[in-house]
A and B are shown apart, each in its own frame.
Chain A
Amino acid sequence: MKYAARRALRAVVLLFGVSVLCFLFTEMAPGSFFDEMRLNPQISPETISGLRARYGLDQPLLVRYSRWLTSVVNGDLGFSVAYNSPVAPLLWSRALNTLLLTTTAMLLTWLMGVPLGVWSAAYRGRWLDRVVEAGNSLLISIPEIVIALALLALAVRSRVVPIGGMISIGHEDLSGAGKVNDILRHLLLPTAILVLAGIAIVIRHVRASVVEVLDAPFVRAGRGLGIGRTRLLFRHVLPVAASPAISLFGFSIASLLSGSLLVEIITGWPGLGPLLLDATLARDVYLVIGGIIVSAVFMIAGNFIADLMLLVADPRIGTGGLNEE
């Protein structure tokens, strides 16, 4: 318990630090939204400074930061000068789309990857292992963008799945079930890309740690006591081998909001990635900061969840067992 509390405190402090840093960095980046306007001779300097004052961009740094921090904590992430709308709702809807994509992909990756990793380890050297390992090597060596483009090309040729976007034209007119179906069909391509790009690492990690544990004396002792092979594998070996995989899982959760930028852009999935890209290019300060904060929250929450999962999986952590003799 105390361990969890300490970790939670660390998470909060980290969050705070991140907010300060990203606020500073965005402020330090050259250029501002108004630079383009300044180049336009028709807009007077007074207008510009008036606009700046309106958006509070002429106040000293510390004031801006504290005002911003207070409003963030109250749920108000500021105002986007580019979209001329509050940041929070903009981020929210896009973030949900991204989450839909990445969560589905993550679940599929892990639901398939863990058993494959475990079975590869249990039958190492045999045909299952060799086939899986060959596939892994292939997938790991192909960059994500190439996988994306390859699958895109395949989709275009075969016309099996819709390409691009999250919904079809005329989505509004579909029934409830029809809407879900429509989204799911659009989900297929980007999810497939993410799964193919990510599953090899999961399988490798799981396989490696299971192999290591399989050689442990307690596994042989278990066999010697007549415990069945499958049970031994999943109820005895996996919990011990889980720790490195859990850390990886933590990374997966952490990158739920940030890991799909490339795929979203290529498949036109309306997620957080493309939004933030545009915002950064347009120097839309508050939108960028808001996006980074939201991603950071996810990253830190993800790691914290992983810490908690590790605590559950390995009782030695909470009870000081790892410091013994």
Chain B
Amino acid sequence: METDRSASTPERQPLLRVRGLGKSYRRKGAGWARTDVIVAASEVEFEIFAGQTLALVGSSGSGKSTVARCVTRLEKPDVGHVWLQGADIAHLGFSDLRPFRHELQMVFQDPATSMNPRFTAAEIIEEPLIIQRPGDKSAHRVRAKELMQEVGVSPQWANRPAMEFSGGQRQRLAIARALALKPKLLVLDEALSGLDLSTEAQIANLLLDLQASHSLAYLLISHDLALVARLADMIAVMAHGRIVEQGPVAQVMANAGHSETRALVASARVAQANLAALGAAL
């Protein structure tokens, strides 16, 4: 299933635009060392258009998760701009962010820790609805069940606690929760890491389907290039807090310029080589 990812036309404004994003952390140094300053991200720039998927890739410590957290304002960036549909949310206060939160939602890596295991499936999905529009309980419950249906978890299980679901089902619930407020952009922070291959395949297909039916844009954080090649339109490679290479997926992977990109492509090739050597029946 192919999707057109031609470059932006001047009339189309990006859904998300990031310029000059930077974030540092202070960390207590060991022994006599003064407090270390760790630059997690610096001068990060990219754009995501409606319905598009941008993948942010890099090895651990490259800063991609920091960028994700700054974009969703789980953390406040030190410098830079984050324009969401034209409005700069980078340095807004907590209550000012409220109206923007429903445009932008996040799905995390580990479904075991990203949701309260004792909450029922319906409660988990309803929560953002209750926060944004308290009081409309039965309507929220109906919507929660609809969302469960949409992500492929039977609505019959709406009253089951989260811990009784499998990892893959919980990740589906996390996606349902993220969709509750009808966002335009989903940030998927390693959302497919650590899943069995078959579960990963199912969730990946779900994400592709949802993207088509809801015109969603995705910011996909991953260290897995092969995954990115099948899900993303644009790719930005990060290393040591900076974006070292950026562009359409096929282009970047074919003509890897930066050493980091080449290293990632090389790791991905190992699996390919192993499979090819065996003559795997793919």
Q: Which residues of A are interface residues toward B (Cβ below 8 A)?
A: 1-2, 318-320, 323
Binding site for A on B (CB under 8 A): 27-32
A320 touches B28 (CB 8 A): yes
Within the complex, the shortest CB–CB distance from B41 to chain A, in Å, comes to: 15
Please indicate the chain B residues that have their CB under 8 angstroms from the CB of A320 in the complex: 27-30
A74 to B28 CA separation, bound complex (whole angstroms): 38
- Extra contacts, 11 of them, besides A320-B29, A320-B30, A323-B27 (Cβ < 8 A), are A1-B31, A1-B32, A2-B31, A2-B32, A318-B30, A318-B31, A319-B30, A319-B31, A320-B27, A320-B28, A323-B28
Report how far A319 CA is from B36 CA in the complex, Å: 12
Q: Nearest-CB distance from A184 to chain B (Å)?
A: 46
Among all A-B residue pairs, the 4 with the closest Cβ atoms: A319-B30, A320-B28, A320-B30, A323-B27
A323 to B33, CA, bound (A): 15
- Report the minimum CB–CB distance from A285 to chain B (whole Å): 44
A319 to B32, CA, bound (A): 9
| Inter-chain contacts of A1 with B (CB < 8 A) | 31-32
| Chain A residues closer than 8 Å to B30, beta-carbon distance | 318-320
In the assembly, what is the distance between CA of A1 and CA of B32, in Å? 7
Q: How far is the CA of A2 from the CA of B28 in the complex (A)?
A: 11
Chain B, residue nearest A322 (CB): B28
Complex Cα distance, B30 from A2, in Å, reads 9
Please give the distance in Å from A314's CB to the nearest CB on chain B.
Answer: 14
On chain B, the residues within 8 Å of A318 by CB distance are: 30-31
Q: List 5 A-B contacts (CB under 8 A).
A: A2-B31, A2-B32, A318-B30, A319-B30, A320-B29
B33 to chain A, nearest CB (A): 8
| Chain A residue at minimal CB-CB distance from B27 | A323
Give the nearest-CB partner of B60 in chain A. Answer: A325
What residue in chain B is nearest A323 (Cβ atoms)? Answer: B27
Cα(A184)–Cα(B27), bound, Å: 52
Q: State the CA gap A1–B33 with chains docked (Å).
A: 11
Bound-state Cα–Cα, A318 to B31, Å: 6
CB distance from A231 to the nearest CB of B (A): 30
CB distance from B38 to the nearest CB of A (A): 10
- Alpha-carbon distance A323/B30, docked complex (angstroms): 11
